[in-house]
Structure 1
């Protein structure tokens, strides 16, 4: 679903801004894959140590830009209700979202200064005023009798703390360790060097986050599936369901993943849990096939150097790394997943393009004995080179940032494109959950005869194993979705809601929405003024005509001429006011249509021709 979906960022923007760079993903109507293609999937696709429990992982829970430092910010993770707040400048704390007193949600409270008088802050419960610091310790109980000894008061406060969850901020996201009872892992987060460079120039501030009406299990399946794009997202940009073709995948062995890592980034990034290569990417990868139709790309591309890899990084990152055969022009579609609860999930989207970013300064990797420090291109055959000025300008116009230039289009436009992609999957993935629940089906009942599904099966096997070693059944169910209730009568407007799932949390879209609403109000005032002017000038036109008729027989010719001039002037003003009011009405209608896109836009596949 989303994989190609991510292309959303690329697809429509490419189509709108540069006709040639249209991303039509193709897949032929014949989907028969030979048995030897299926055999490319190795028998072991999980790390040797086995997956860790789902709650003993770092999970992205929100974009940093979505948080309000002046108030509590509620979040959900694995069916847990949590709350984030800024406990000190630039430092976020995550607590269990329920007061120890009578379990009211702390997210309904306030952020207050610590009574100790330092620069730290506490969460104050809205019910009875109990306060908690960033460590989850209760620091104040207003109802506590002052007659109690200081030692007794301290003991009472210590007994009234709430659970604290480890937090870190990276690549524009807030990450939470989901098990407060264990020591958080020191493992590096699944953030690529390209995404780090993207973050350094402010690219992640334009990232996309949305809550989805289906579970982590279906989201993960969809993100690693590269073959559905032309069908699920037909008519988005240049995508067309008639452009289908096989997408043969080869699952990489551990040694192949290590080798690829050295080619891409000198081994600096962590290895994916499993990773697949699109065979003959220039002919089979949906995006590259479409990109090569662009004369600008085709003239600079060597199809033999084209490459495409899909990787899953435990527990939450799906990464597409592509190059259309042009050194220095790799890009990634980065998707991060958060299992908020059974039957629902949250997704994050970033699309870093190498041509947008300053060159990568390679450092000698401690993970390898390779002593070379020369930068290599994606195919390890040439040194990395700067993209041609023409290509850099093209990509910069499309994706809003070449080096540090201002974006070529409003940031919210990219979010609208991403919405269209997720809307294309939202209805049927939710209803897939309903159908599977009704028939007691699991992913093991899927029919997956082609190699294009090997990543889907690998993801579901990993999820099964991770759920098995997760001690809490409730936490496991929050990710696997078993037992989740998908209501078949849930309204389309609810499933495809954009406001509560995105706009309300996105400063980019909120600001754009406010501007559009202000524009609408201004247009309304203009319409009122123009209608009033038309009415007034109309009255004056009639008055001038009457005066002209009267003076024609009773006054000098100069008076008649003055009446005629006045009548013509007033008539012109009337026509102009009517024309202006009509144009303003059209502008208001256009603005209202754009405003509605921030709330809901239906996506009916049968109506997409």
Structure 2
């Protein structure tokens, strides 16, 4: 199942198969049938979610600012005018993961948009509402005969530029031509580009948007264009997370949380032996750059991380010859889309011997399979963050003072938090006009349970064709494996009971062993299935 109705729950067939075999239930849906995912209708307006909004606990703090980590000052002569978030390019989808045969809904800066591929082969982005009666065009279809996007409510069609191409209800040619020529029959169209395997959207549809978009730079990753020096170690990974953009960027520009939040997944708690972060390039409208120096049981460690407006954070790990790129796209209040990729240096010196080399080989083996990479690595990392961040931003906003309350309520006594102060300082000075920046707790959707916040299906699997196929294959295999196991066990029992074979003969024992193997396979497949739907992440249980 694809499209808006698929969000928050697997296909009906998957649910039936899972229920029959005792597999985990599909991700929870909010009362009234609305999905808990980022594009469900209930989250956007803070409608009822089955329980009242819970106020975050009051934190007792001093009346005086307690911040001691350095707050980088902007570069001399830098304007303090906020950036225009709408007049920016955003990567919004992995092009190869989009289904060209149907429209795909999208949230960007709180706007409801729809992506689709026209008959010409070019991708288009339109406002997700038909001008006729405001029905969502993402519930429509790409009409094969015309290559237009058809509204499924009354059959109106629109071309790639948003112009209305058909109104079936008007039979008179002159009246139809007048209606089609009216500006009111058009849908707002947003500039689109394909770059680096991603589909980019310019978030402004004003009359001069096309010219402005053509002249504006994109926050592209240089390593994508340097195949002689860098190789893409992984494909793109995308997931929607139930946290606002400012909270997600704060998390990504905080490398010190990794050994604790991602213990056993991305480092270990005992590896932190002191970290210092310094501002190499202070905040400017274009972004900022920080350097990290630390001590681990394996020796000195260094890295740099850079924020490039409006939405890119890039890490460079020279010791490992790797680059991590993370696009953090503001979808709506309380929701952010993350798109990530890893690169490795092609230089021979980047291939370290010993333990580091062995770990790298293991990582590369997993990363070479997209399904395993997503199920075992990328989703598990975000599971460690999601619920903590989902609650943290609500606690901060409950203190009143909006997003700038961090200066009063964060206690950051060391230089390890310089990445946080750099980001928050940039946001206060240059990013404060972010349209989806929550000002109060009421601006966020209702608080989720941990199961809702870690819903892998609605946040990732339904958008990833490889993970969807893997889940479908597991759902198809489970009843067959169960049937085979039952048949083998029955054959062994009948043969032993009727004397057709000695009770301890090879036929009976072989059938029994086959039944046991089928039971074990069924169990392992059921466990692997949860990696595409929901896997609980309890920090207290991760030793």
Q: Which category describes the TM-score, using the shorter chain as reference length?
A: 0.7 to 0.9
Q: Which residue of 2 aligns with 1:590?
A: 524
Query: Structure 2 matches for 1:49-64, cutoff 5 A?
Result: 50-64=81-95
Which of the pair is proportionally richer in strand? 2
Query: Contact 2:119–2:148 at 8 Å: present in 1 too?
Result: no
Which of the pair is proportionally richer in helix? 1
Q: Which residue of 1 aligns with 2:369?
A: 410
Aligned partner (choices 253, 259, 284) of residue 224 of structure 1: 253
* Aligned structure 1 segments of 4 or more residues deviating by more than 6 angstroms: 198-202, 389-393
- The alignment status of 1:333 with 2:327, answered yes or no, reads no
Q: Which residue of 2 aligns with 1:449?
A: 413
Aligned partner (choices 243, 260, 273) of residue 271 of structure 2: 243
Distance 1:205 1:388 in 2: 17
Q: Which residue of 1 aligns with 2:388?
A: 428
Distance 2:188 2:475 in 1: 42
Q: Which residue of 1 aligns with 2:305?
A: 310
Query: Structure 2 matches for 1:43-442, cutoff 5 A?
Result: 43-44=74-75, 48=79, 50-113=81-144, 115=146, 121-146=147-172, 148=174, 152-156=178-182, 158-181=183-206, 182-183=208-209, 184-185=212-213, 186-197=215-226, 203=232, 206-236=235-265, 239-253=267-281, 273-278=287-292, 281=293, 283-284=294-295, 289=296, 292=298, 307-324=302-319, 330-355=321-346, 387=350, 397-400=361-364, 410-416=369-375, 417-441=377-401, 442=405
Distance 1:168 1:138 in 2: 22
Distance 2:231 2:344 in 1: 13
Q: 1:147 to 1:307 in 2, by over 3 A?
A: closer
Select the structure of larger CA radius of gyration. 1
- The range that moved more, 96-105 or 136-145, is 136-145
Shift of 1:433: 2.3
Q: 1:93 to 1:408 in 2, by over 3 A?
A: closer
Query: Contact 1:342–1:481 at 8 Å: present in 2 too?
Result: no
Q: Provide Cα deviations, 1:311-337, integer angstroms capped at 9, x if missing partner.
A: 00001000101111xxxx621111101
Distance 2:367 2:436 in 1: 41
Q: 1:485 to 1:59 in 2, by over 3 A?
A: same
Distance 2:462 2:509 in 1: 43
Q: 1:385 to 1:408 in 2, by over 3 A?
A: closer
Query: Contact 2:69–2:421 at 8 Å: present in 1 too?
Result: no
Q: 1:202 to 1:235 in 2, by over 3 A?
A: closer
SS of the aligned residue for 2:118 comes to: strand
Distance 2:315 2:271 in 1: 21
Q: 1:236 to 1:199 in 2, by over 3 A?
A: farther
Distance 1:201 1:86 in 2: 31
Q: Which residue of 2 aligns with 1:523?
A: 481
Distance 1:200 1:137 in 2: 45
Aligned-CA RMSD value: 3.2
Aligned partner (choices 503, 516, 537) of residue 461 of structure 2: 503
Q: 1:606 to 1:167 in 2, by over 3 A?
A: same
Distance 1:133 1:202 in 2: 38
SS of the aligned residue for 1:159 comes to: helix
Shift of 1:89: 4.9
TM-score by length of 1: 0.70
Unaligned 5+ segments in structure 2 are 1-65
Distance 2:471 2:235 in 1: 16
Distance 1:46 1:348 in 2: 33
Q: 1:204 to 1:150 in 2, by over 3 A?
A: farther
Shift of 1:168: 0.9
TM-score by length of 2: 0.78
Q: 1:585 to 1:502 in 2, by over 3 A?
A: same
Q: How many residue pairs align between the two structures?
A: 466
Query: Contact 1:172–1:199 at 8 Å: present in 2 too?
Result: no
Query: Contact 2:291–2:303 at 8 Å: present in 1 too?
Result: yes
Query: Contact 1:172–1:204 at 8 Å: present in 2 too?
Result: no
Shift of 1:493: 1.2
Q: Which residue of 2 aligns with 1:377?
A: none
SS of the aligned residue for 1:175 comes to: strand
Q: Which residue of 2 aligns with 1:604?
A: 538
